[in-house]
Amino acid sequence: MFKRRYFVVAPNFHGATIFSRILNDHPNVVCLGDTYPSNHFDQTCGCGKKVKECEFWQKIKRDIDAERYISLPHILPDYPRIVGGGVDRFFYNTFHQEF
């Protein structure tokens, strides 16, 4: 049983995978690595295996029927999904704020 849980959030290609690999070297730490693996290439999970070989990500893919998202950039869908054109994207980018 985990005593504490911490979540570290980082954008893609900013060192999250290497950071998770370093953390996993500690015997009392479990780190999953990237939480949005790509549909375009097979990333390395924090466990050290490729996503297509990682038991955790394969279970997630089965549970959410990830094949329906194969055309999207990530295994998990990005929300909110913007399907309009430039006007929708403009309004989303203008009014979306992180607090």
| Interval 56-87: pLDDT, tens | 889 989 998 989 888 888 888 766 655 656 66
Query: Is 0.75 surpassed by the pTM of this model?
Result: no
Q: Which residues contact 47 (CB under 8 A, 6 or more apart)?
A: 24, 32, 33, 54, 56
Output phi, psi for 70, to 5 deg: -60, -25
Determine the number of helices (DSSP H) and then strands (DSSP E) in the chain: 3, 0
Fill in the DSSP letter of residue 50: B
Distance between CA atoms of residues 21 and 34, nearest Å? 11
Q: How confident is the model at residue 38 (pLDDT cuts 50, 70, 90)?
A: confident
Please give the C-alpha separations between residue 33 and each of 69, 87, 90, in angstroms, as whole numbers.
21, 35, 32
Return the domain boundaries, the chain.
16-95
